[in-house]
Chain A
Amino acid sequence: MSKSETSQALCAMPTSDEMTYVLRLADNAMILGQRLAEMCGHAPEMELDIALTNFSLDLIGQAALLYDCVLARENLAPNSDVLAMTREQSQYLSCLLVAQPNVDFAHIIVRHYMFVTFQKRQYEALLSSKDKQLAAIAEKALKEIAYQIRFSKAWVLRLGDGTDESHERMVEAVDCLWRYSGELFDKDDVLCSVIGSGLTADFTNGYQNWQDEVSDVFAEATLNIPSDTHMLMGGYLGKQEDHLGHILVDMQYMQLKYPNLEW
């Protein structure tokens, strides 16, 4: 076997829409968890360091359960570490939003608030799933998500309606990150298929409700949602931006350098 063949052989992609969808959920949680882990020891305040580390831990915990859920149904890899940490960049099915960089605390907060308010709707739609394991994972995660929403909402208000500088930074963050919101609720073929099969309820009909909720909070924070935004999409299909590649260099380092070992 040539070298490139061995590295290809570590992991396969799901064949079913259902497991493709669960892999999206897992990758979303994993990549955002990994992003937040970068802040460990570097957050703007010690209390915030603890909070961000905690969210990272919650998210990677969710990802671990979801990867196991995928592996129990499709034998893609020998274990969840290989599934999580060895794929080609184009095989990661996370939305573009979660890989956005930690530009500053405003970006971290806007990204987080947008993501967790969306994730709440996405996971609530799993509570009635025909897949009981998936429903149980969602139920557990929703408790964590509720706290993360409270935390990030409070910071959206503080930073948006704080000082001129914090407001400016928030305007810039919203302007940059809002472009990734369309993908979150995009009802593509995979999502249509898994709604049809009963894996998830249709949360995309909550898009307007999500926009209303977010724009209300933004308004209270003296922030506006940008109008006429051209939405950027493709992450769910593996069309990733540059950012993810840099995340993967770190995340995959040990698994690729020392394949098939126990740690």
Chain B
Amino acid sequence: MYSTDLRTDAEKKSAGEALRSVEDAAFLAAFQKRIDDGAIIEPKDDMPEKYRKTLTRQISQHAHSEIIGMLPEGNWVTRAPSLKRKMILLAKIQDEAGHGLYLYSAAETLGTKRDDMVADLLSGKAKYSTIFTYPTPSWADMGTVGWLVDGAAITNQIPLCRCSYGPYARAMVRVCKEESFHQRQGYEVVTVLARGTAEQKKMAQESLDRIWWPSLMMFGPSDAGQVSQNMKWKIKRHSNDELRQRFIDATVPQAEILGLKIPDPDLKWNEERGSYDIGEINWDEFWGVIKGGGTCGKMRIRDRKTAHKDGEWVRAAAAAYAEKQERKHSAIAAE
């Protein structure tokens, strides 16, 4: 997911060791008690360093994903097939940029500057959701991305609206409202295609074939049975598998209504569980994407780096101008 922990085991281990034993047990226990009692943690509150670090990583990674996520959709904005679709897509991309900014602000309340977070994204140190490394070669992908990717995002983010960290929880409330709008619009794009000509229907099916498995990977590898620190701190409330299952159970019937086929021969309804069973997810592909950037990862970062570099002189000019104005005003005030 946008906020799934994408660090490798080695990265997780070294981060953990660095922080161990710095804080005393009494403080940690008191903090845990506050969380257990349902307290909402605010920026000025004392918090364990690991809580701060974990949230900074999670929220900034979520912000990066929103910003990188603009690129596969921007890829179609100049080619959108109708004025209405073009406007809807522009509005959606604008929303995603807004989510990015909003989330960077939420992360900044934990003490890290946006510029530093962005620098980590550009250097490759910070991660973003694997889903945005996949290509969007057809118009149908603009529908499928909204339907599945925004759909999966909502599934993950609704529980985060009750996250223990106040600024993140509040950001999620606002973001979820817009994501569910995007999900409906995406589904509508796919609906029109599925009910259109044979060519359009083919476009929709091929897109579903491309994006189905990557959208399931968005929830991250199985962590069933582990009661993690994040769960105790109420940064995470459900296992990855549980959220993935929720998404599958909601989405399969939506595909059926459209007469589209989920590209999984092992998919079947499990009467006993009251859920769908699915085939095996190719986690090699997932880790390959995290390590090597998949099809578009290198291009996405290159695009962001270019934009950032193109912006250097603009930022410098804005800063120089602001300073000149400041000097002018203080000169007037001194007179």
CB distance from A75 to the nearest CB of B (A): 18
| Most B Cβ at <10 Å: residue of A41, A49, A261 | A41
Contact among B81, B303, B307, B324 with A255 in the assembled complex (CB-CB below 8 Å): B81
* Residues of A in contact with B, size category: 35 or more
Which residues of chain A are within 8 angstroms of B310 by Cβ–Cβ distance? Answer: 42, 44, 104-105
CB-defined interface of B84-104 with A at 8 Å, one 1/0 digit per residue?
111100110110011011000
Which residues of chain B are within 8 angstroms of A104 by Cβ–Cβ distance? Answer: 310
Known contacts A41-B71, A57-B94; A250/B79 CB under 8 A: yes
In terms of DSSP, what is the predominant structure of the interface of chain B? helix
Contact among B74, B192, B199, B318 with A40 in the assembled complex (CB-CB below 8 Å): B74
Residues 120-136 of B contacting A (Cβ, < 8 Å):
none
Q: Which residue of A lies closest to B114 (CB)?
A: A46
Docked-complex contact A41 and B307, CB < 8 angstroms: yes
Which residues of chain B are within 8 angstroms of A63 by Cβ–Cβ distance? Answer: 83
Docked-complex contact A81 and B83, CB < 8 angstroms: yes
Docked-complex contact A162 and B320, CB < 8 angstroms: yes
**Total chain B interface residues with beta-carbon distance under 8 A:** 48
CB distance from A47 to the nearest CB of B (A): 7
Docked-complex contact A163 and B90, CB < 8 angstroms: no
Docked-complex contact B93 and A41, CB < 8 angstroms: yes
CB distance from A112 to the nearest CB of B (A): 14
Which residues of chain A are within 8 angstroms of B86 by Cβ–Cβ distance? Answer: 37, 60
Docked-complex contact B94 and A50, CB < 8 angstroms: yes
Residues 47-66 of A contacting B (Cβ, < 8 Å):
47-50, 53-54, 56-57, 60-61, 63-64
B70 within 8 A of A: yes
Q: Which residue of B lies closest to A56 (CB)?
A: B90
Which residues of chain A are within 8 angstroms of B307 by Cβ–Cβ distance? Answer: 41-44, 49
Docked-complex contact A60 and B83, CB < 8 angstroms: yes
Q: Which residue of B lies closest to A44 (CB)?
A: B311
CB-defined interface of B27-47 with A at 8 Å, one 1/0 digit per residue?
000000000000000000000
Which residues of chain B are within 8 angstroms of A253 by Cβ–Cβ distance? Answer: 79
Residues 278-335 of B contacting A (Cβ, < 8 Å):
303, 306-308, 310-318, 320-322, 324
B8 within 8 A of A: no
B21 within 8 A of A: no
| 24 A-B contacts (beta carbon < 8 Å) | A40-B70, A41-B73, A42-B303, A44-B311, A46-B100, A47-B101, A48-B311, A48-B314, A49-B307, A53-B97, A57-B87, A60-B83, A60-B86, A105-B310, A158-B317, A159-B321, A163-B316, A166-B317, A254-B79, A255-B82, A261-B81, A261-B200, A262-B196, A263-B81
